[in-house]
Amino acid sequence: MRNKHIPQRTCIACQQKKDKKDLIRLVCTSSGVVELDLSAKKPGRGAYLCARKDCWGEGFKGNRLEHALRTKLSDDNRQTLINYGSSLGGEG
């Protein structure tokens, strides 16, 4: 019996490779807005973050997310994503 291939992705904050299903995808839409892609199927350039509060905090430091998505976040867009990240658990 063959094992099914499980896609791996890297968290832009902690740089750990994990199963794609264990990470949260953020996607830059054609309108330039960055949004959560919980289905991981939306079109557009994507970046992945762990579902941990500390990775979300690190992902927004030094414009890591903006660099990965090759876009500039508006203040409102940034705050919306940061609020979502602060609702997550799993420090450390």
- Domains identified in the chain and CATH numbers: 8-86 (3.30.1230.10)
Residue 28 pLDDT: 96
Does the model's pTM come out above 0.85?
Answer: yes
Q: Cβ of 26: how many Cβ atoms within 10 Å?
A: 24
Residue 92 has pLDDT above 60, yes or no: no
| Residue 82, both tokens | 């940061």
- As a dihedral over the C-alpha atoms of residue 64, residue 66, residue 69, residue 73, rounded to 10 degrees, the angle is 150
Residue 56 to residue 31: CA distance in whole angstroms? 23
**What is the model's pLDDT at position 59?**
93
Q: What is the pLDDT of residue 91?
A: 64
Gap between the Cα atoms of 39 and 6, Å rounded: 16
